[in-house]
Amino acid sequence: MNQPKTIHELEQKSIQYRRKTLQIIKQAKAGHTGGSLSAVDILNVLYNRVMNVSPENFHDPDRDRFVQSKGHSVEALYVVLADQGFYPMAALDTLNQYQSHFIGHPTRKVNGVEQNTGALGHGLSLAVGMALAAKKDGRSYRVFTLLGDGELEEGSNWEASMSAAHYGLDNLTVIIDYNTLQITGPIESVTGITRLPEKFAAFGYAVRQVDGNSIPALTAVFDQLPFAPGQPNLILAHTVKGKGVSFIENQVGWHHRVPTDAEFAAALLELDEAEQAWERSNGSR
């Protein structure tokens, strides 16, 4: 496992991850911009602070496991895995290209990816199976899965939730990237995805809510795992779709829009300014 990094260091990583995510989407001329940017900080904290998984132990049965159920936000995942050393960052130049292993949804052809995902409503059942296997085998590894909020419209998530609670999977943590937007519009305008904390609690989760774009807040909530013995953990991560670039934030149209040259330059400028501000803060937190 990597040396634990400070919150200050992780905040810089998030800026760098956002820059690289935009760059590979721009280069590939395709990608899920808004959802990747909303999920960056969650992936950052998971891989750099929380999970015991690395290129060295990826085939160890005791490694922690991550399943990205919202597979469309693959660009952020590929960037974070490259930063972990699963492959060179330059490999991402082939994203979506003919015969590339870097498919536009997570694939086990890419080192570091546990399961092929992309169709919504699959990751939670997979994660339940993995967590149940740990219980059966007396292993102490933990399982994390990241779901979108619109994804919760798939009924299979609620089937899986019943099993997670039934088997008392406190080694399972479900994170909802609650950016409140899906491709058609605000999730509550699409269908009745309301009262999520109450729904998840009623399904048997120990629920925590957090600012999902705050490194210190995410770090603090993951440090509390497991939230309650014998209950699966659920983190409702309130995020901003497109977080980090002002004109992408909270814009439905940026679900899978690719920046123009001018937008890309403006986005990089904002991220550069954010990094300069980070340097001035210099760990004073």
Partner 1 sequence: MEAGKANLEVFAATLLRLAQADRDILVVTSDSRGSGKLGPFAQALPQQIVEIGIAEQNLVGVSAGLASAGKKVFAVSPACFLTARGLEQIKNDVAYSDNPVKVVGISAGVSYGALGSTHHSLHDLAALQAINNIDIVVPADNFETRAVIETAVSYPRPLYIRFGKAAMPHLHAPDAHFAIGKAITLMEGSDVTFIAIGETVARAAQAAHLLAAQGIAAGVISMHTLKPLDATAVLRAAASSQAIITVEEHSVYGGLGSTVAALLLQNRLNPAFKIVGIPDEYTVTGSQSEIFAHYGITPAALAATAQSLLFDPQMSQIHADFLD
Stretch that binds partner 1, among 8-16, 125-133, 185-193, 246-254 (CB under 8 A): 125-133
Q: How far is the CB of 156 from partner 1 (least distance, A)?
A: 4
**Binding of partner 1 by 50 (CB under 8 A):** no
**Binding of partner 1 by 168 (CB under 8 A):** no
**Binding of partner 1 by 119 (CB under 8 A):** yes
Torsion on CA atoms 239, 240, 242, 243, rounded to nearest 10: -80
Which C-beta is closer to partner 1: that of 155 or that of 192?
Answer: 155
Which 58-97 positions form the footprint of partner 1 (CB under 8 A)? 61
Which C-beta is closer to partner 1: that of 120 or that of 187?
Answer: 120
Which C-beta is closer to partner 1: that of 5 or that of 105?
Answer: 105
**Binding of partner 1 by 136 (CB under 8 A):** yes
Stretch that binds partner 1, among 39-47, 93-101, 158-166, 182-190 (CB under 8 A): 158-166
Q: How far is the CB of 244 from partner 1 (least distance, A)?
A: 31
Stretch that binds partner 1, among 22-30, 83-91, 157-165, 187-195 (CB under 8 A): 157-165
The residues with which 119 forms a beta bridge, in sequence order, are none
Which C-beta is closer to partner 1: that of 141 or that of 222?
Answer: 141
The residues with which 68 forms a beta bridge, in sequence order, are 146
Q: How far is the CB of 61 from partner 1 (least distance, A)?
A: 7
Distances (CA, A) of 225 to 11, 18, 132, 148, 173: 22, 27, 17, 21, 8
Strands lying side by side in the sheet with 172-178: 65-68, 143-148, 172-178, 233-238, 206-211
**Binding of partner 1 by 152 (CB under 8 A):** no
Binding residue for partner 1, selected from 10, 82, 110, 124, defined by CB under 8 A? 124
Which C-beta is closer to partner 1: that of 29 or that of 136?
Answer: 136
Q: Give the separation between CA 190 and CA 147, rounded to whole angstroms.
A: 17
Binding residue for partner 1, selected from 138, 155, 192, 229, defined by CB under 8 A? 155
**Binding of partner 1 by 122 (CB under 8 A):** yes
Stretch that binds partner 1, among 73-81, 121-129, 222-230, 256-264 (CB under 8 A): 121-129
Binding residue for partner 1, selected from 56, 137, 198, 273, defined by CB under 8 A? 137
Q: Which residues bind partner 1 (CB under 8 A)?
A: 61, 108, 114-119, 121-122, 124-134, 136-137, 155-156, 159-160, 162-163, 166
